[in-house]
Structure 1
Amino acid sequence: MAVTIAVSAVIISGFLLGIFLMQSPRTALWGNRLGALSMLAAAVWVFSSLNGGSLSSALLYVAAGAAIGIALGQSVRMIHMPQTVALLNGFGGAASALVAWAAAPGYSGVETALLFWATSGLAVGIGTLTFSGSVIAVLKLQGLAFRQPVQLEGHGHLLRFSILLAALLIIINTAYLGFYAVEMILLIALFGLLAGFLMALRIGGADMPIVISLLNSFSGIAAAVAGLAVENMILAGTGALVGVAGLILTRIMCRAMNRSLMAVLAGFVPKAAGKTKPSAGTAKTAAGKPGGTAAKKEEKPAEAEQDAGSARPEPDLQKMLAEARKIIIVPGYGMAVSQAQMEVRRLVDLLEKEGKEVKFAIHPVAGRMPGHMNVLLAEAGIDYDKLVDLDTINPQFAHADLVIVVGACDVVNPAATSIEGTPISGMPILEADQAKNIVVCNLDENPGYSGVDNLLYNRDHVVALWGDAAQTLSGLADLLEKD
């Protein structure tokens, strides 16, 4: 027993140190490696306690899982990373539920098994909730179903009822020492699945990264209580780490959104006041002429109807780039869709070669998962020191000569702070509209994930380059090279 405690403590300490090292970009790689090494050590330690048929079966299952994981990792594109993270969260929750379920027959009727039935019930309930919620998140992110928030009649009551009933079943099953374990656990699982479905169904807009972070936390909590149920200290400890880290990240993101977690989970209920009102002026197309907004779509000149790959920035845009000394780039989900991060890197290199100051404004919920933009920019080799968070960068927009928006919409939409009753109302935004000039490299003038028209496109100092962001950025880079 003492050896087990000591080994578990060392492995969990390895995970803790790995997380600590991940706080800095300079040591993050070593932190990741230490975490992987700790996971390997945990697996080896668990395997060492098995023998005969149990070991053979375990190795077979691990090999099958590893093969699927490797195939998934090699085939998934960066654009699908949020869906992949959500799916893995769901698998983690399902695995914890299955572990608790599989262990149940051995404890039925055992008078000293109160802790097992309490923790196994929680593992099944939280694990199944995580699984169904993650599946709905994947369907939403992939655009296969429920893309917009869905609010059923009596939605909140149904959600609370399913959670309370699952909790009541856990208490009853614990009190009766699992005499009806199969039936009770099945019912707990069903109500857990229903709760996860209802919770994720009405989530939309910029709240999706928060929900993915919360589901990640739930998968850790499910693993922790499953570890307590089967008396595996390593599983309990590492699950607790994931759960706490996920809750902290969720809280940070909620604060950045200026919303409570309960408000996020309550979903968005449209109000009659939630209509956008175009401000004076319209965004200019690359040719510098009026047009390029949803309200003026039919008035676009022929030049603006080209796709961005062939739309050539005019001399006034070239002058804008040449004269700008302080430049802020705002990346968003569209950068992931177009895989434009490499073109962003090329543009940054050219700008800095001319002695210009370039920074990146990172909104905490930009993209579809926590840290989405950080991952993409790191892939392109962008120096992490150039990435600036919302609170720090916002005062700097007023002093910026040029802002280049790359695939971002909701996070720079002034409607969030000026219009009530929309999915993004009250959300702090990147105040890009305060800059001297703005170039928008988005696919089109349509609303972002929230469905709210972007008032930024109506401003006079905005130049819109509609089309694939990778192509429009390439056009800007070509301009600099010719200069």
Structure 2
Amino acid sequence: MSSTVYIVTCVILSIAVLVGISLMSKVKTAVAGNLLSALSVFAGVVVTLLHYNIVSVWSIYLYMLIGILIGGAMAVRVKMIQMPQLVALLNGIGGIAAALVGILSLLGIGVPQGGYPAFERFTAMLAIVVGLVTFTGSMVAAGKLHKLLPQKPVILKNHAALLKTSIVVLIGVILFSAFPVDSAFWITVVLIISIVVSSFFGYAFTIRVGGADMPITISLLISLSGVAGAIAGMALNDLLLVSVGGIVGASGLLLTQIMCRAMNRKLGDILTGKTSVLRENVELPETGVETETFPEEDTVPQEGGQHSEVETMANEGEILKAAKTAIIVPGYGMALAQAQHLVRELADKLESNGTEVKYAIHPVAGRMPGHMNVLLAEVDVPYEQLYEMDAVNDQFAETDVVIVIGANDVINPAARDAKDTPIYGMPVLNVDHSKEVFICNYDLNPGYAGVDNPLYKRNHGVHLLLGDAKNSLSEIIAKLD
């Protein structure tokens, strides 16, 4: 394959990937966009084999077959609720792949060498550092999401100092790699230092991020994975890898910025744990929500849902049947209970009674970007019924009934007033402005941010159904018969 044909093909495939990403931004075209991007990447693999004349290397096909079998098995066996940790896991694999390319390039093993050795060594070391930070960070994120690691923030002794020291060391080894060093000993020493320190840095900066901020962390790690791939492409002098890696890196970074703005948070504060660690002895101010104290026994969930004494004495079935408008607010608890099918059944029941149903989607509901959209798409919820926070927030005050399924921090009104708490200043869904609120949560414990929700103590218009969301939803559906 000539250089001209290769360059033109790279441009076409890069544009196809961009179009695929654009199509994935809408539910109706997401499947087509995903397929287009996947086929473009596969075509990129074929083009690479042809361009570098390595079609005859039989071992490549063996490894590809192994990867296909593993990927196919995961696609069949992994449940929808496990999708966030799967995304983190696959993202980490992309990071380690870039790091391995960097290691081989730095050592000059089995990779083509160009005419700019200093640049190649520099980019190889950069690929190692960024790739391993991505790998270990993604593994920690996957471990937190799969509950193999603590989902609360973990703070090490002298955490900030360790991170700053790691950054200084990594900058040093990256700069050192650009200078010509013929000694195999020093190359090995620098390589070992870069592997150890970058792996530690990826672990340390991810372990102190709480579950509530994990969607932003995952989108940032996706960006880093793309950046690592692009840098590895520079080390290899491979145009297609640079282009596609750059697209992934840019799209991930844009998504990270969008989510940070939606949460009114700075990325630096999230990565330094300032938004996840609740300060000690913080007294929550009055939030304007009338409250009363719960009896201790009312905080214990029971199978089938337990109602708190704060709920109104009005007949819940009549409230639901009389509602002309309803907003359903899904959260991570819906994913845990795998209750999306019952949510759709509830919506169908309400609509059969003449109720207009909408879904309010908070940008960080769940554990990855678009988590709630994916779950609701699984049960064929019409895309037109899904509303982003800014589009639906003003409608809560005029809505007859709001039904919350497993959401906590994203509906916590304390975010508006409770200073010195992790969620202060974070935009939330205005569920507390609604007339009647049905909350199907497992218990009354605070969410990942560790801040009590005063909405649970409102003494009018709140119906708490505690326990497994499936049982609570079944109870609500029964009231509509």
TM-score by length of structure 2 reads 0.91
**Corresponding residue number in structure 1 for 2:147:** 143
**Corresponding residue number in structure 1 for 2:458:** 459
Whether the 8 Å CA contact 2:114–2:237 is kept in 1: the answer is no
Match of 2:282 among 270, 274, 299: 274
Whether the 8 Å CA contact 1:441–1:469 is kept in 2: the answer is yes
1:23 to partner: Cα distance: 2.9
Q: Number of paired residues? A: 467
Paired residue type of 1:55: V
SS at match of 1:368: coil
Matched, 1:10 2:12: yes
Matched, 1:159 2:163: yes
For 1:126 and 1:412, the matched residues in 2 are separated by: 36
Moved more, 61-70 or 252-261: 61-70
The residue correspondences of 1:193-204 to structure 2 (distance < 5 A) are 193-204=199-210
Paired residue type of 2:471: Q
SS at match of 2:318: helix
1:81 to partner: Cα distance: 1.1
Match of 1:128 among 118, 126, 132: 132
1:297 to partner: Cα distance: 2.8
Match of 1:307 among 282, 303, 313: 303
Matched, 1:240 2:246: yes
1:272 to partner: Cα distance: 4.1
For 2:306 and 2:281, the matched residues in 1 are separated by: 40
Whether the 8 Å CA contact 1:110–1:177 is kept in 2: the answer is no
Whether the 8 Å CA contact 1:205–1:424 is kept in 2: the answer is no
The residue correspondences of 1:315-354 to structure 2 (distance < 5 A) are 316-354=315-353
Match of 1:102 among 104, 125, 146: 104
Paired residue type of 2:468: D
1:43-86 deviation per Cα after TM superposition (whole angstroms, max 9, x unaligned) = 11122245579621111111111111111222211111111111
Q: Which blocks of at least 5 consecutive residues in structure 1 are unaligned?
A: 283-292
Paired residue type of 1:431: N
1:104 to partner: Cα distance: 2.4
For 2:55 and 2:402, the matched residues in 1 are separated by: 63
Matched, 1:427 2:426: yes
Whether the 8 Å CA contact 1:205–1:451 is kept in 2: the answer is no
1:110 to partner: Cα distance: 8.6
Whether the 8 Å CA contact 2:306–2:465 is kept in 1: the answer is no
For 2:319 and 2:141, the matched residues in 1 are separated by: 41
Whether the 8 Å CA contact 1:113–1:177 is kept in 2: the answer is no
For 1:330 and 1:345, the matched residues in 2 are separated by: 12
Whether the 8 Å CA contact 1:330–1:362 is kept in 2: the answer is yes
SS at match of 2:282: coil
For 2:216 and 2:380, the matched residues in 1 are separated by: 26
SS at match of 1:153: coil
For 1:329 and 1:367, the matched residues in 2 are separated by: 15
Match of 1:252 among 258, 271, 276: 258
Whether the 8 Å CA contact 1:214–1:246 is kept in 2: the answer is yes
**Corresponding residue number in structure 2 for 1:285:** none
Flag the 1:52–1:38 CA change in 2: closer, same or farther, 3 A. Answer: closer
For 2:398 and 2:163, the matched residues in 1 are separated by: 47
1:418-445 deviation per Cα after TM superposition (whole angstroms, max 9, x unaligned) = 2122222221110100000000011111
Flag the 1:197–1:324 CA change in 2: closer, same or farther, 3 A. Answer: same
Flag the 1:210–1:160 CA change in 2: closer, same or farther, 3 A. Answer: same
Match of 1:265 among 260, 271, 274: 271
Flag the 1:30–1:58 CA change in 2: closer, same or farther, 3 A. Answer: same
For 2:74 and 2:55, the matched residues in 1 are separated by: 29
**Please, what is the CA RMSD of the aligned residues?**
2.4
Identical amino acids, percent of aligned pairs: 44
SS at match of 1:27: helix
Paired residue type of 1:157: A
Paired residue type of 2:42: L
Paired residue type of 2:383: Y
Whether the 8 Å CA contact 1:47–1:55 is kept in 2: the answer is no
Matched, 1:222 2:214: no
1:135 to partner: Cα distance: 1.4
Flag the 1:33–1:368 CA change in 2: closer, same or farther, 3 A. Answer: same
SS at match of 1:48: helix
For 1:377 and 1:176, the matched residues in 2 are separated by: 55
1:136 to partner: Cα distance: 1.4
For 1:476 and 1:397, the matched residues in 2 are separated by: 20
SS at match of 2:335: helix
Matched, 1:21 2:42: no
**Corresponding residue number in structure 2 for 1:289:** none
Paired residue type of 2:345: R
**Corresponding residue number in structure 1 for 2:121:** 117
1:276 to partner: Cα distance: 3.8
SS at match of 1:175: coil
For 2:318 and 2:303, the matched residues in 1 are separated by: 22
Whether the 8 Å CA contact 1:224–1:240 is kept in 2: the answer is yes
**Corresponding residue number in structure 1 for 2:371:** 372
For 1:208 and 1:371, the matched residues in 2 are separated by: 12
1:205 to partner: Cα distance: 4.1
For 2:479 and 2:92, the matched residues in 1 are separated by: 46
TM-score by length of structure 1 reads 0.91
1:296 to partner: Cα distance: 2.5
**Corresponding residue number in structure 1 for 2:187:** 181
Q: Which blocks of at least 5 consecutive residues in structure 2 are unaligned?
A: none
